[in-house]
Structure 1
């Protein structure tokens, strides 16, 4: 899909927000929802999405949504760092299919990285749900 288009209210993240699909939730406030990526590239791979948005990508998002969204991303990233003690963090966001975007609801990836541990390929394999729940509990406990 290109950078331009119409928001699809049937996308997986919209369904998660409406409670139609399950998610292993990490954090939620009035602006954002953070949950574990079920196709993680690394242990602790977490996604953060705006709750009140129909932006397909960052370029479409309204300025009044961006501020609270970025605060949520930072809050969750700090909790991932505190809980999992990675050597580094990748915080990324894709705009359009050529850039790697596969779900067309604005979202950020927080991916912990450890020295010498290769980054997995996205959608390479589905994570164990019990492991994701444990990681979500660890990260949630560190949110301040």
Structure 2
């Protein structure tokens, strides 16, 4: 899809802060997060963001991957109580799951967006994956 921001991220046309990638999925930090470490699990195939229209097998794969990434966020980001999963897809009509780390004594305001520099984004990425380019 020509105007799809996620397709542009997948193709490399736009830069991203990669956490994980395989032949089916791209996992990146959200560039405009509501909380530190907000992560997107994105299907590389341009599919509807409405989960009820997506094949069960794809949803199962994405859920399993999301679970692995959530455990990584929980263990690597300081102060995270647990990571929440959100599947709404109203902003971008391309299948994706949002992983939102829940921090102690911090409420998530879905209308708020953190303004983070490239250096801050890269530092968060390194907290999650270490010095490697991405999790494998």
User: What TM-score results when the alignment is normalised by the length of structure 1?
Assistant: 0.79
Q: How many residues get paired?
A: 132
1:10 alignment partner, SS class: coil
Instruction: Tell me if the contact between 2:7 and 2:46 (Cα under 8 Å) persists in the aligned partners.
Output: no
**Where do 1:15-26 residues align within 5 Å?**
15-26=8-19
State how far apart, in whole Å, the 1-side matches of 2:71 and 2:16 are: 21
In structure 1, the partner of 2:128 is 139
Structure 1 contact 84–139 (Cα < 8 Å) conserved: yes
1:121 corresponding residue in structure 2:
110
TM-score by length of 2: 0.84
Query: Given that residues 35 and 46 in structure 1 are in contact (C-alpha distance below 8 angstroms), is that contact kept between their aligned partners in structure 2?
Result: yes
1:41 and 1:121 in contact (8 A); partners too: yes
2:94 pairs with one of 97, 105, 109: 105
- Cα contact 1:39–1:122 (8 A) shared by 2: no
For 2:115 and 2:52, the matched residues in 1 are separated by 29
Segments of structure 2 that go 5 or more residues without pairing to the other structure are: none
Q: Pairwise CA RMSD of aligned residues?
A: 2.1
List alignment gaps of at least 5 residues for structure 1: 1-7, 96-100
Distance 1:28 1:143 in 2: 8
Q: Which residue of 2 aligns with 1:98?
A: none
CA deviation string 1:71-123 (max 9, x = no partner):
2111111110110140122211105xxxxx21111111111112212324346
Residue of structure 2 in register with 1:57 after alignment: 50
